[in-house]
Structure 1
Amino acid sequence: MPASQPSEQEAPPRPRLRLGIGAAVTLGLVVLSAAVGWGILRGQSTPVDAISLKGGSSTSAPADGNGGLYVHVLGEVEHPGLYILEADARLVDALAAAGGTREDADLQAVNLARALTDGEQIIVPAKGAASGGAAGATAPSAIGADGKVDLNAATQDDLETLPRIGPALAQRILDWREENGRFRAVDDLLAVPGIGDKLLAGMRDKVRV
C-alpha cells in the first residue's frame, strides 16, 4: 500500500531574529528616548500654576486640593519662575512647568527623578559651569573664598554687601535674573535698570558668574 500522506504540510522553521551590536544600541536609544519623553509628558500634564513676581497672584489651586508645592525654578530653563506643583511632583515636573530646559543645560548635574519639597529653589546649571546651584541641594554660599559674590546664586542680602547696592537695586538684580535666567557675564549687569558703567566699574572685581 502507498504510504499515507501527512494531512498538513509542515510549517517552515521561523527565521531567527539576530541583532547586531549597532541595532541593539539603536534599540536602546529608542527605549531611552521614549522614557525621557514620558517623563516630559508627565511633567506637562501635572496641574501647575505660575505665580507672578510682579504683584500678581495665582487664581487657582492644584487639583489635589492640599495647596501643592511651591518651587522656584532658575537657571537654564525656558521660563524661570515660581510654580505650584502637585504634592508628589518630581524634578522633571518642575522643569516641564518651566517650559523645559535650554540647549546648554547640564542635565547630568540634576536628578530628574528626585522628589521635590515645598519651598525649595531649583537651579539648572549650564554645561561647564560650576555647580553653584545643584537642583534642590543645599546651596553653597554665594560668596566664595575670594570674597566675590556669585550673581547666579546670590540672595538679596548677598547683593547688598556690594558697593552702592541697596535693597531696591538688589531686588532689581534678582528680578532680572528671574526673568532672563542666569548671568552669563558680569557685563550683563548693565541690562539691570539703575546700573551703569560707573556703578559696574566699582563692583566688577567683587562679583563673578
Structure 2
Amino acid sequence: MSRTTQPRLPLRFRLPAALAFDRRALLGLTVLLVLTIGYAVQHFWLGRPHPVAVPTISVAESATGPTQEGTRTSRPAGPPLVIDVGGKVQHPGLRTLPAGSRVADALTAAGGTLPGTDTSLLNLARPLTDGEQILVDTDTPAGGAPAAPTGPVSLNRASAEQLDSLPGVGPTLAQRILQYRLTHGPFQSVDDLRHVPGIGARKYEDLKALLTL
C-alpha cells in the first residue's frame, strides 16, 4: 500500500534575528523623538521676537519734575535767601526762602497782606536776592511816586522799589541793577554800578554819593 505524501506548506519569510527590532528599544526611540520635537518647538517659540512697550515721558514733567496740583515749578539750586518783609503784612520780619523765590513767595511767607492792602506797586513776579527788603503798601507821596531815600541805599540789599526811589532811576533801570546783581553776584564796590547797562558816566556821578554796599 503506497503512502500518501502530504504537500509541504511554503516557509514564512523571516528577517534575520540581528535585524529584528526590540519592542522596548522601539518605544525608547519614539519617546526620544517626541522629546526632540518638543524641545525644538519650545526653542523656536521662545526665540521668536516679542514687541516691547516703550514708556513715554512727558516733556514738561522731565524738564520740571513732578508738579503739585499743576502749579508747582522747579527752582534753581542755590543758598537760601534771607528777606526782610515789612509794611502791611500779617507777620513782618525776616524770612528765609529757597533760592529762586519771588516777591509773591515772600508775601506768602509773611502770612499774606492785611485786608485792603494795595500791592499794585510791587512786581510780584520779580526774583528775590539775598538781603533785600520788601515794603508792602508803605506811605508814598501823592501821585504814587516812591519816597526819596533818607540815607544811602545798599546796592546789595535794596529792593526794586528802593532803587527806583533814587533820582534818575526808573523801574526799568532798577530792574537792570537787580538783574546784574542776580547774574554776577553782590557788588564788590560802588564803581561796579558802571557795568550795568544804562548807567553812564554822568548818571554814575549823580548816584555814587547816594549808594553804599
Instruction: Give the structure-1-normalised TM-score.
Output: 0.38
Instruction: Give the structure-2-normalised TM-score.
Output: 0.38
